[in-house]
Structure 1
Amino acid sequence: MNQAAKLSPELQSALDTPLYCTGESECKLMWERAIFYISTTSRWQLRVQTNNLIETEGVPANYYALAYSVAREPMGEGRYRLASQTWCGLKGFQCRPHADEGLARLKYYIRTGQKS
């Protein structure tokens, strides 16, 4: 049984809205926010940090702490999509926080620079 996260309207909107950036300045800021958020929030250390991928270490089976990944996909003309994921070593609803909540909070921070 997959249980949905109970999110505020603000976080539900962040979860449902794809992340895009346009131009060097906006994309650099959003990428730096992603690195900062993941490195200060995740229990896991960054395993990969390049110009196009941020990813934490793998998660052991049956462990509840979230791992994160953000990939920067070029869309052309200076526009990028920031595809993000969260997961743990359990089912998504057993993660702490819920995998969807963790993803929503990550996306909200990347977009706004504020923790929700």
Structure 2
Amino acid sequence: MIKQYLSIAALCTFGTLVAGCSTRGQVQPDVMQIATAPLTCSSKAECDLWWQRAQTWVTGHSRYPLESSSDTLIQTTGPDGGKRALAYEITKTPNNDGTSTIGFAAHCDSALGCKPDPWQAGADFKLFVRNGTANVPAPGSTPAPAAALAPEAMPAQSIASPTGEPASQ
């Protein structure tokens, strides 16, 4: 009987420690700002360059192989059952004003959360596509103003929620 209580107490202590160390659901505001900023290219030349960068980023960051790659869709296989690795779906949608919006979605299939964090991956992706480099600000640093990241009044995009569930933004 005492052995059973000790086992339960040890299990509860372990669960409390794991929960206390978890950062799931906490997204740095600067990362969120970059990850949710619309990614809209303004000319055919810019859109072609950004689309090429999008494919480069996905193939360099995905643990899953490409399933589809066209002028409007870049998609990896996955996610596989219980794995924390992100699967990606990138879309390019033309807008009525001649611009195109590049959408980003990332998700995994693990109850433990995704690695890397989908919000961080989205911010990294968008910075790379815009600039050719990925340099997400460190926590506590001053992010670039939103106006420098994207024009105002742009269409919504997809990104994964902090729990790994796809969400629209």
For this structure pair, what is the TM-score category when the shorter chain's length is used for normalisation?
0.7 to 0.9
Partner of 1:94 in structure 2?
Answer: 113
Deviation at 1:5, TM superposition (A): 4.2
Measured against aligned partners, the alpha-carbon deviations of 1:70-105 in whole angstroms (never above 9, x if no partner) come to 1111102421111110111125x7100112111221
Q: How many residues are aligned here?
A: 113
1:113 and 1:67 map into 2 onto residues whose CA distance is: 21
| Residue in 1 that maps onto 2:96 | 76
What TM-score do the two structures reach when normalised by structure 1?
A: 0.87
Percent sequence identity is 26
Q: 1:7 aligns with which of 13, 28, 52?
A: 28
Is the contact between residue 5 and residue 101 of structure 1 (CA under 8 Å) also seen in structure 2?
no
The question of whether the paired residues in 1 share the 8 Å contact of 2:27 and 2:119 is answered with no
- Which protein, 1 or 2, shows the higher relative CO under an 8 Å CA cutoff with sep ≥ 6? 1
Could you tell me whether the CA contact under 8 Å between 2:74 and 2:89 is conserved in 1?
yes
Tell me the distance in 1 between the aligned counterparts of 2:98 and 2:57. 24
Q: Distance in 2 between matches of 1:100 and 1:56?
A: 18
Match of 1:19 in 2: 39
Do residues 107 (structure 1) and 118 (structure 2) align?
no
Contact 1:68–1:84 (CA<8 Å) still a contact in 2? yes
- Matched-pair contact (CA < 8 Å) for 1:5–1:100: no
From the two aligned structures, give the one with the greater strand fraction: 1
**Residue 28 of structure 1 pairs with residue 48 of structure 2:** yes
Unaligned runs of 5+ in 1: none
If you compute each CA radius of gyration, which structure gives the higher value, 1 or 2?
A: 2
For the pair 1:60 / 2:80, whether they are aligned, the reply is: yes
Shift of the 35–89 alpha-carbon distance from structure 1 to 2, 3 Å rule, reads: same
Matched AA of 1:111:
R
State the partner residue of 1:43.
63
Tell me the CA shift for residue 8 of structure 1.
6.5
Cα distance in 2 for partners of 1:102, 1:3 equals 14
Distance 1:113 1:77 in 2: 25
CA contact (8 A) 1:5 1:98 kept: no
Shift of 1:13: 2.3
